[in-house]
Amino acid sequence: MGICASTQSTKTQGQLLITYELTPTIKVINSVDGSLKEFEEPIKASEVLSGHPDTLFLCNSEEMNVDCHVPRVPGTEELQPGQLYFILPISISTGLLSLHELCLLAIQASKALKRSAEKKEKESTASFSDRRKSKRNARRNHKVDFQLALKKLG
């Protein structure tokens, strides 16, 4: 569910080799505002809820079922990489989770994950573009220095 991919490319004998490193992350979606937070390091549930411990609770998406109470993740529990969690209002914990509510959460999660992926892709593209410009400028500077050295020798 929460996967962070990084790429590394190397050139050997004229062939480009691209390798991917997949690092599972912890993804937490705030159902109140639709925001997504991603954690690469272990974190406890209480730390995620530090600003709103009395009005919100945390649940694991894999433990949510229709017509059942939504189980809370205890504050002392460490969240697991590769899992998707929801921050929900306390009011949801008192009743049974309806199919409609579960579908709304799934849609909200889908939108948040899509926004996050688009943002990462945009950042990756910008970063790649910056690296190319930097290399191109370095090559230009190198050529100028080389030509200057040839003039001094001649």
CATH of the domain at 95: 3.10.20
- Give, rounded to a whole angstrom, the gap between the first and last alpha carbons of the chain: 64
Domains of the chain: total: 1
Q: Per the domain annotation, does 42 fall within a domain?
A: yes
Backbone angles phi, psi at 22, to 5 degrees: -100, 120
Q: Per the domain annotation, does 12 fall within a domain?
A: no
Q: Supply the pLDDT for residue 3.
A: 47
Q: Per the domain annotation, does 148 fall within a domain?
A: no
Q: Per the domain annotation, does 15 fall within a domain?
A: no
Which residue positions in the chain have pLDDT lower than 50?
1-4, 6-7, 9, 19, 21, 138-144
Q: Supply the pLDDT for residue 1.
A: 47
Place of tokens 């910008």: 126
Which two tokens mark 124?
Answer: 């990756």
Q: Supply the pLDDT for residue 151.
A: 58
CA 51 to each of CA 54, 57, 146: distance values in angstroms, whole numbers, following the listed order: 9, 11, 59
Q: Supply the pLDDT for residue 2.
A: 47
Q: In what helix (H) or strand (E) does residue 112 lie, and over which residues does it extend?
A: helix 99-153
Q: Which domain holds residue 79?
A: 25-117
Q: Per the domain annotation, does 61 fall within a domain?
A: yes
Q: Per the domain annotation, does 151 fall within a domain?
A: no
pTM for the model stands at 0.66
What DSSP line would sit under 49-100, residue for residue? TTT-TTTEEEEEGGG--TTSBPPPPPTTPBPPTT-EEEEEEHHHHTSBPPHH
Residues 100-123: pLDDT tens digits? 999 999 999 999 999 888 888 887
Q: Supply the pLDDT for residue 149.
A: 55
Q: Do residues 84 and 25 lie in contact, with contact meaning Cβ atoms separated by under 8 Å?
A: no
